[in-house]
Structure 1
Amino acid sequence: MNNAVLKAVCANNDGIIIDLYQISIILRNSIISSEYVPPISLDNSIVLTSQGEEWVGKIREGISNITIQEIKLAMLINFHNKEFLIDISKTDFEKVFEIISQEIISGMIRFPWIYERLLYDKFFELFPHKPDSFTFEETQQILTDTPVGVFQRGQIVIGPYGILRSKQKRNLPIKYSAPMWHCSDITCSTIHWVHFKSQYAYSAISKASSLISKNLELPDNIINLIKEYHAESDYFDHIQLDNLHYLLINEFSESELRSLLGKLIEKHSKDIRSLMPKSLAKGSSSQIVDKLNLAQIFQLILLMDNISIANAVEELIDEEIIIIPSTEIRVSRFNYKKLKGYFKNICECSQFGIRSISSKKDLSVIRLKILIKELYPDLNELWRISLIDGKDIEEKLNNYLLTEDPIKIVKETIFTSPNNIRRTEEFFKYGNFNLPRNVEEEEKLIKKVLWKLGFNINLFPIYNSLFWSRYEKLLTSIRKYRSYTEHDREEIRSNAVNFFVSLEEILDLTLTFSTWMLLSDHTKTKLRFDLNKSRQFMSDNLSSLRDTGKGFVMYDKDGKNTLYPLIEGFDILAERCEEYLLKKEGFIRNKDELPDYSDATNVMLFPFRHYNYVLDIQEPDLEKILNLLTETTAVLTQMKVCDVRNRIEHKRMDFPLQEDIENACKAIDSVITKLEMAGLCPLISLYSGSSLDQFGRGYNILKNYREEETRIFNSQFDPCKLPSSRVPQIVVHSVRLTGSSENIRFAYEETSENTKKWTNYPKRLPT
């Protein structure tokens, strides 16, 4: 085909050459049976060139009983052989793609659903063995009753709606494998991928395609056209969102993605409806999304561009429709292709929204510098920088960025005018940046800017800080006067109600964590503590063990536990631990359940030799813990904390004296302080820096909300999956791992749609 004709073809709005190339790759990577025969309508829709007609005879000579539609599908896969085999001007490509689309929808041409955990869970049920690849029959078995896989090449998105066209080019390559299983080694976190099997290679279509491809010769102008189309114009973009789709499908729940699609339809109704199947595009956003499954939702989300998607996610977070807890950072746990661009960016999401950070290097300070220089082409306008040491304005800026608190820097350089905030929003290209209306909103937006730049922003759960704040308010109110009028009592009662709510929350948190920590098998918990999930464990292990004469002490799995059973619970837990200690020998872990290294080397140590962790705690530490648990119940009971609470909260004649309330508060202060110091009342610690000397000796620094520091060194216990220093965690300062001075640590998870989605993961296949 001459260049003039080729240029005319390429001028087509649909970019038919590009579409042909994309479809050829898609079809070549499909899962089909060796018996698959395309519909006759494909023959009627594809018109061959004279060279194509010549190849029909050559193919029939080499392959007996091949149908014309099989030959034409092979030519669609290999559309050029020195000359075009398909007549570009006469072929009805809209009809051709519609036919292929219907074959995808019907499942005759198949693509595997490889995302989230659907196949992982199904594999665990169906396959007791641990293959690296499936047979075709096994492939069919595991893909039965699963969605059509969603993939994208260029602007063509394939999925349960067949072939659709997106506003944005992407590369979600078709994968012939998926993350399927974890081995029986309880210390191994490697996910094993299993390959699918297609019979495409054995089909008449493949054989015909092979005959053609031996002489396949794409001319330079077509090669250049394809290269130009796929060229990464954003190769050096340090904020690009290339793997946003993997973050969404793996780390957002179906209900969250349903809300996201609904938001996209509301905000971009004309655009997205024009790209949807016509039969689906009518009706309100809720009428459309409510009837869709996960794969359908995902394919339709991909019709929109990444910036629109990221903006919609952030609006949903700000509207608290998508709720991400303070310590949660979502990042796709699976990568299906090499990271794109020079900086190898990955997408993350927190309650501050979406950000893209480099996996190669920390760009946070560099990005902040670039942003400041964009806002202030003349750096001399920043009078604050002129006060910093340095030879010239550039050196002053560098020193300023490396020495001042980043929050202060953003306040002094960005939050100086609404215009600067708007220009900062333009710098990031995506994100929901509403102008702050008060100090609280300003502080949150500053942290959001820093988060997007790549800075580590530590947010803590409010349990502990709120408890101590309410404690101080109560103390202040009871110390105002020696005797109380009814007005004074109302003020005290108001503060006391809030305080005792917080006390119940803190005691519930402490009792739940302590029970979970002491009595669990941590090879199964994966050293991850979630308060809401662990309450069930606490309820199962402590309920019905103490008879008060009026009934047994019971614990609610949903956290609706009142003060008396919570106080009693610490003594009950101590007694429960003593019972396990009396039967210690019966809880030793079987040898075949120990990791291979456990008795082979002392370089790596395994601390969980029993099924209940209380039995692996060193004796001096355990003695202190049990004493503290018993003391907690004794002190709070002796100081009549329940009685004082009841006399304050209910309008009784015997309202407690100041001395009674102070004594109860002192007892509570003493007990909670000791529990916090021991780590039984968990204080969440977050990464706060690191140190490394010339000999390579170093440590990571963790800090809690009080700025109290814990240093984490290289550990002999790393193989048992102690949490990474970058993970929110609980350090139990009163418990040392066996034979060391290192404290046991647990990752801290707050319940969210994402943690619910990944409950009971990983699963372990038997040996």
Structure 2
Amino acid sequence: MNDLAWLLRGRPGETTEDRLEGFLRNASPREILETLVLSREESAKKAAESLGIAMGGDDESFLDSMLWKLGFVPNRRPDVRDNYWKNHARLESFVATALAATESTEEELRAISSNYFVALEEHLFDSLIFATWALLTDHTLNGRPFEFHLKSAREFTIERLNASVLRKAGAERNDLSEGPSLQEIVQGFLRLSSHLDELRHHESDHARHQDDYPRFVAQTDLQRFPFSHTLPYLDLTAASQVGLREILRDVGTKLNDSGILSARNGLLHAKGKQRTPTIAEVKSALDGARVVLRSLEEIGCVRTTFEVVSSESDQWGRSSTLLRANGTEIRLTGPSTYELVGLPSLHRKVYLMQGAVFAPPNEMLRFREGFDSDYAEYWRDFMRRPEPASRPPGTQLADAGAEMEATGTNS
């Protein structure tokens, strides 16, 4: 109790018990664990033993593990875009200082630029993968609908975009690869925009077969199924289709024109092979990249994790949920007529694709992050909804039970 009294000495309350009661009532689960568990090695070891987790690593990872085991959602992990903007700000700050410097800054500029361009390539490629996968995958037939898995999405993107271009004899391929150059990634955005434009002229080729509609479509008018095509892009509003194509095209053309490609070549290649760009040229390239990448984020073609800030509902069941990510706030209202589509819950971390609206006013595509593991693969199709008319109602439960018995998971 003496240790506890010291830990809670700044909390309101007349006695230690009062302070503890108020602390547990008002503090976040993370703050409680950090204060009461991490304060003493003995407490941390006992908590780790009780929860069955290892103590190795840093405090933040240990806190995340404890929160997860206790049923709470840990803090969001940094997105790929977060690493990019951190390096962008660092290089931008250096350039602003170097403009007024009198001594040579070339070596330091090259060193800082190396990390920046690695982060830029990673960010752009991740965004290209996410946008291609999100707009051109039939998510409703997936065992885990609207769930993003980076490895399979990368394979899908490379195959889809490389196949979208007709080859001419002797023409340069400039295809995407597992480790594409910045030039190839920029070209990928142009390919994606052109491919989306071409799809508009062949909509009938991607119409959903009647047998692939969910069963509820024929059973109720209260819930709607908006995806009459196997490619989500073709079921977006006209404004969304046009906006996505234009922004994706602009990403390719404006990055080409911004000077960021020539700046990269000049800073990362050995001296003599390329002219080293001036500080003013680097600043101009960064300004151009900032505008382009912000526009890409505004349409949601960047993996940005949104979290619930507040959620309210009235006596008639109408709800209003506010989500926030990096200063951007989006409010979604309910109930929705698209709740049976399989979109992830708003009360979990989600990726919102603001530019991909499939129904007014703001019914947009949204996704959860998936993780590749043997455990996830084992449970991939558990309790999956059967195809319409393929089996009588209720047999999915019997089939699930039979599968569990066959695999020994019902013990």
Q: Relative CO higher for 1 or 2, CA cutoff 8 Å, sep ≥ 6?
A: 2
- Corresponding residue number in structure 2 for 1:614: 233
Q: Is the 8 A contact 1:530 1:750 kept in 2?
A: yes
2:302 is paired with a residue whose SS is: coil
For residue 634 of structure 1, the aligned residue among 253, 260, 270 is: 253
1:534 is paired with a residue whose SS is: helix
- Corresponding residue number in structure 2 for 1:594: 213
1:749 matched to 2:370: yes
1:384 partner letter: R
Shift of 1:478: 2.4
Distance in 1 (CA, whole Å) between partners of 2:174 and 2:84 is 25
Distance in 1 (CA, whole Å) between partners of 2:34 and 2:199 is 56
1:561 matched to 2:184: no
Q: Where does structure 1 lack aligned partners over 5 or more consecutive residues? A: 1-375
Shift of 1:541: 1.8
The one-character-per-residue Cα deviations of 1:176-203 (angstroms, maximum 9, x if unpaired) are xxxxxxxxxxxxxxxxxxxxxxxxxxxx
Question: CA distance change for structure 1 residues 430 and 707 in 2, over 3 Å: closer, same or farther?
Answer: farther
1:510 is paired with a residue whose SS is: helix
The one-character-per-residue Cα deviations of 1:286-345 (angstroms, maximum 9, x if unpaired) are xxxxxxxxxxxxxxxxxxxxxxxxxxxxxxxxxxxxxxxxxxxxxxxxxxxxxxxxxxxx
1:410 matched to 2:410: no
2:110 partner letter: R
Distance in 2 (CA, whole Å) between partners of 1:424 and 1:719 is 40
- Corresponding residue number in structure 2 for 1:198: none
- Corresponding residue number in structure 1 for 2:21: 398
Shift of 1:630: 1.1
1:539 matched to 2:158: yes
- Corresponding residue number in structure 2 for 1:508: 125
- Corresponding residue number in structure 2 for 1:681: 302
The one-character-per-residue Cα deviations of 1:96-155 (angstroms, maximum 9, x if unpaired) are xxxxxxxxxxxxxxxxxxxxxxxxxxxxxxxxxxxxxxxxxxxxxxxxxxxxxxxxxxxx
Distance in 1 (CA, whole Å) between partners of 2:374 and 2:96 is 45
Number of residue pairs aligned between Structure 1 and Structure 2: 381
Shift of 1:503: 1.0
Structure 1 residues 426-441: aligned runs within 5 Å: 428=50, 430-434=52-56, 441=58
1:628 is paired with a residue whose SS is: helix
1:744 is paired with a residue whose SS is: strand
- Corresponding residue number in structure 2 for 1:668: 289
Question: CA distance change for structure 1 residues 378 and 603 in 2, over 3 Å: closer, same or farther?
Answer: same
- Corresponding residue number in structure 1 for 2:44: 421
For residue 67 of structure 2, the aligned residue among 447, 450, 454 is: 450
2:337 is paired with a residue whose SS is: coil
Question: CA distance change for structure 1 residues 756 and 477 in 2, over 3 Å: closer, same or farther?
Answer: farther
Structure 1 residues 18-97: aligned runs within 5 Å: none
Question: CA distance change for structure 1 residues 499 and 763 in 2, over 3 Å: closer, same or farther?
Answer: farther
Please give the root-mean-square deviation of Cα atoms over the aligned residues, in Å.
Answer: 3.1
1:480 matched to 2:94: no
- Corresponding residue number in structure 1 for 2:405: none
Distance in 1 (CA, whole Å) between partners of 2:30 and 2:211 is 52
Shift of 1:753: 3.5
Q: Where does structure 2 lack aligned partners over 5 or more consecutive residues? A: 391-411
1:591 partner letter: Q
Shift of 1:606: 0.3
The answer to which of 625-634 and 750-759 deviates more is 750-759
The one-character-per-residue Cα deviations of 1:371-395 (angstroms, maximum 9, x if unpaired) are xxxxx3886454436x42x576544
Shift of 1:431: 2.8
State the percentage of identical aligned residues.
Answer: 24
User: TM-score when scaled to structure 2?
Assistant: 0.82
2:9 partner letter: R
1:512 is paired with a residue whose SS is: helix
Distance in 1 (CA, whole Å) between partners of 2:152 and 2:349 is 17
Distance in 1 (CA, whole Å) between partners of 2:76 and 2:250 is 32
Q: Is the 8 A contact 2:8 2:20 kept in 1?
A: no
2:249 is paired with a residue whose SS is: helix
1:449 partner letter: M
Distance in 1 (CA, whole Å) between partners of 2:31 and 2:370 is 30
Q: Is the 8 A contact 1:639 1:667 kept in 2?
A: yes
Structure 1 residues 210-289: aligned runs within 5 Å: none
The one-character-per-residue Cα deviations of 1:585-640 (angstroms, maximum 9, x if unpaired) are 33222223223433654310101101211210100111111110111111101112
Question: CA distance change for structure 1 residues 738 and 600 in 2, over 3 Å: closer, same or farther?
Answer: farther
